[in-house]
Amino acid sequence: MPIALQPVEPADAAAGRGRDATGRANLRARHFARSLRWLHALALGWRERSRPKSGLGAASGYLLAQWAPLSRHVGHGQTRLDNNLVENAIRPTALGKKNWLFIGHPDAGRRAAILYSIIVSCLRHGKDPAAYLRDVLSRLPSMTNQDDLEAITPRRWQPASAFSS
Protein backbone atom coordinates (compact mmCIF):
# COMPACT_ATOMS: atom_id res chain seq x y z
CA MET A 1 0.00 0.00 0.00
CA PRO A 2 1.44 3.47 -0.86
CA ILE A 3 2.49 5.50 2.16
CA ALA A 4 0.01 8.26 1.29
CA LEU A 5 -2.88 5.79 1.71
CA GLN A 6 -1.71 4.28 5.01
CA PRO A 7 -3.04 5.51 8.37
CA VAL A 8 -1.25 8.52 9.82
CA GLU A 9 0.67 6.76 12.59
CA PRO A 10 2.61 4.29 10.38
CA ALA A 11 3.23 6.96 7.74
CA ASP A 12 4.54 9.36 10.37
CA ALA A 13 6.68 6.62 11.90
CA ALA A 14 7.97 5.74 8.44
CA ALA A 15 8.76 9.43 7.94
CA GLY A 16 11.71 8.94 10.22
CA ARG A 17 11.07 9.74 13.86
CA GLY A 18 14.11 7.62 14.68
CA ARG A 19 16.32 9.04 11.90
CA ASP A 20 18.57 12.04 11.60
CA ALA A 21 17.46 15.13 9.63
CA THR A 22 19.19 14.05 6.41
CA GLY A 23 17.66 10.58 6.57
CA ARG A 24 14.20 12.06 7.14
CA ALA A 25 14.63 14.50 4.23
CA ASN A 26 15.68 11.67 1.89
CA LEU A 27 12.78 9.50 3.02
CA ARG A 28 10.29 12.32 2.56
CA ALA A 29 11.62 13.19 -0.89
CA ARG A 30 11.34 9.55 -1.89
CA HIS A 31 7.85 8.87 -0.49
CA PHE A 32 5.94 12.12 -0.05
CA ALA A 33 6.99 14.20 -3.06
CA ARG A 34 5.01 12.02 -5.48
CA SER A 35 1.91 12.08 -3.24
CA LEU A 36 2.12 15.84 -2.94
CA ARG A 37 2.37 16.27 -6.72
CA TRP A 38 -0.71 14.05 -7.06
CA LEU A 39 -2.60 16.07 -4.42
CA HIS A 40 -1.61 19.36 -6.08
CA ALA A 41 -2.89 18.17 -9.46
CA LEU A 42 -6.12 17.00 -7.81
CA ALA A 43 -6.63 20.35 -6.07
CA LEU A 44 -6.03 22.23 -9.34
CA GLY A 45 -8.66 20.04 -11.04
CA TRP A 46 -11.15 20.56 -8.22
CA ARG A 47 -10.63 24.32 -8.35
CA GLU A 48 -11.28 24.37 -12.12
CA ARG A 49 -14.40 22.17 -11.95
CA SER A 50 -16.15 23.70 -8.93
CA ARG A 51 -17.46 27.13 -8.02
CA PRO A 52 -15.13 29.16 -5.82
CA LYS A 53 -17.74 29.61 -3.06
CA SER A 54 -18.76 25.95 -2.94
CA GLY A 55 -17.33 23.73 -0.22
CA LEU A 56 -15.00 21.88 -2.56
CA GLY A 57 -14.00 25.10 -4.34
CA ALA A 58 -13.23 26.87 -1.07
CA ALA A 59 -11.31 23.86 0.28
CA SER A 60 -9.22 23.46 -2.87
CA GLY A 61 -8.57 27.22 -2.98
CA TYR A 62 -7.40 27.15 0.63
CA LEU A 63 -5.21 24.11 -0.02
CA LEU A 64 -3.57 25.78 -3.01
CA ALA A 65 -3.11 29.05 -1.12
CA GLN A 66 -1.29 27.14 1.66
CA TRP A 67 0.68 24.96 -0.74
CA ALA A 68 4.15 26.42 -0.09
CA PRO A 69 4.14 25.81 3.69
CA LEU A 70 2.41 22.45 3.25
CA SER A 71 4.98 21.10 0.84
CA ARG A 72 8.05 22.67 2.46
CA HIS A 73 8.58 19.70 4.79
CA VAL A 74 9.62 17.49 1.86
CA GLY A 75 13.02 19.18 1.59
CA HIS A 76 13.65 19.69 5.30
CA GLY A 77 14.33 16.82 7.64
CA GLN A 78 14.35 19.15 10.66
CA THR A 79 10.64 19.95 10.44
CA ARG A 80 7.93 17.73 11.89
CA LEU A 81 4.87 16.63 9.99
CA ASP A 82 2.63 17.31 12.98
CA ASN A 83 2.52 19.28 16.19
CA ASN A 84 1.22 16.42 18.33
CA LEU A 85 3.92 16.84 20.99
CA VAL A 86 2.95 20.46 21.58
CA GLU A 87 -0.77 19.69 21.47
CA ASN A 88 -0.37 16.87 24.00
CA ALA A 89 1.77 19.06 26.26
CA ILE A 90 -0.73 21.94 26.43
CA ARG A 91 -3.93 19.85 26.50
CA PRO A 92 -4.06 19.39 30.31
CA THR A 93 -3.55 23.10 30.89
CA ALA A 94 -6.14 24.14 28.32
CA LEU A 95 -8.74 21.65 29.56
CA GLY A 96 -8.05 22.48 33.18
CA LYS A 97 -8.44 26.22 32.67
CA LYS A 98 -11.69 25.66 30.78
CA ASN A 99 -13.06 23.23 33.38
CA TRP A 100 -12.15 25.43 36.33
CA LEU A 101 -13.34 28.69 34.82
CA PHE A 102 -16.91 28.60 36.16
CA ILE A 103 -16.92 27.47 39.77
CA GLY A 104 -19.04 29.35 42.29
CA HIS A 105 -18.13 33.02 42.05
CA PRO A 106 -16.75 34.42 38.75
CA ASP A 107 -13.56 35.55 40.52
CA ALA A 108 -13.08 32.08 41.99
CA GLY A 109 -13.04 30.52 38.53
CA ARG A 110 -10.40 32.95 37.31
CA ARG A 111 -8.25 32.35 40.39
CA ALA A 112 -8.62 28.58 40.08
CA ALA A 113 -7.55 28.77 36.41
CA ILE A 114 -4.45 30.76 37.43
CA LEU A 115 -3.56 28.27 40.16
CA TYR A 116 -4.10 25.36 37.79
CA SER A 117 -1.79 27.00 35.23
CA ILE A 118 0.90 27.46 37.89
CA ILE A 119 0.60 23.84 39.04
CA VAL A 120 0.81 22.45 35.50
CA SER A 121 3.77 24.73 34.76
CA CYS A 122 5.55 23.39 37.85
CA LEU A 123 4.89 19.82 36.74
CA ARG A 124 6.15 20.58 33.24
CA HIS A 125 9.41 21.93 34.67
CA GLY A 126 9.84 19.03 37.10
CA LYS A 127 9.14 21.07 40.24
CA ASP A 128 6.98 19.97 43.18
CA PRO A 129 3.91 22.28 43.03
CA ALA A 130 3.28 22.16 46.80
CA ALA A 131 6.89 23.04 47.63
CA TYR A 132 6.89 25.75 44.97
CA LEU A 133 3.70 27.40 46.25
CA ARG A 134 4.81 27.11 49.90
CA ASP A 135 8.17 28.73 49.12
CA VAL A 136 6.96 31.44 46.75
CA LEU A 137 4.04 32.44 48.97
CA SER A 138 6.43 32.80 51.92
CA ARG A 139 8.81 34.97 49.84
CA LEU A 140 6.21 37.29 48.29
CA PRO A 141 5.41 39.45 51.38
CA SER A 142 9.05 40.55 51.70
CA MET A 143 9.53 41.26 47.99
CA THR A 144 9.36 44.74 46.48
CA ASN A 145 8.69 46.06 42.99
CA GLN A 146 12.44 46.20 42.36
CA ASP A 147 12.94 42.47 43.01
CA ASP A 148 13.47 40.16 40.08
CA LEU A 149 10.25 38.16 39.72
CA GLU A 150 11.80 35.97 37.00
CA ALA A 151 13.59 34.03 39.76
CA ILE A 152 10.28 32.81 41.21
CA THR A 153 8.70 31.60 37.99
CA PRO A 154 8.31 27.81 37.86
CA ARG A 155 10.94 27.60 35.12
CA ARG A 156 13.70 29.35 37.14
CA TRP A 157 12.59 28.67 40.72
CA GLN A 158 15.00 27.17 43.23
CA PRO A 159 13.87 26.44 46.80
CA ALA A 160 14.92 29.01 49.43
CA SER A 161 16.78 26.24 51.26
CA ALA A 162 19.04 25.91 48.21
CA PHE A 163 20.22 29.50 48.76
CA SER A 164 20.88 29.15 52.48
CA SER A 165 23.09 26.02 52.12
pLDDT score at 165: 43
Average pLDDT over residues 83-101: 73
CA distance 114 to 151: 18
| Angle, vertex CA 32, rays to CA 30 and CA 34, nearest 5 | 80
- Is the pLDDT assigned to residue 49 strictly greater than 80? yes
CB-based burial label for 165 (10 Å; 0-12, 13-18, 19+): exposed
pLDDT of residue 129: 94
Does the pLDDT of residue 76 top 70, yes or no? yes
The mean-pLDDT minimum among 45-49, 50-54, 85-89, 154-158 falls in: 85-89
First to last CA, the chain: 63
Q: Which of 165, 152, 154 is nearest to 119 (CA)?
A: 154
Give the CA-trace dihedral at 39, 43, 45, 47, to 10 degrees: 180
Per the CB < 8 A criterion, the answer to whether 108 and 96 are in contact is no
Length of the chain: 165
Is residue 3's pLDDT more than 50? Answer: no
Least Cα distance to 2 among 30, 43, 26, 24 occurs for 30
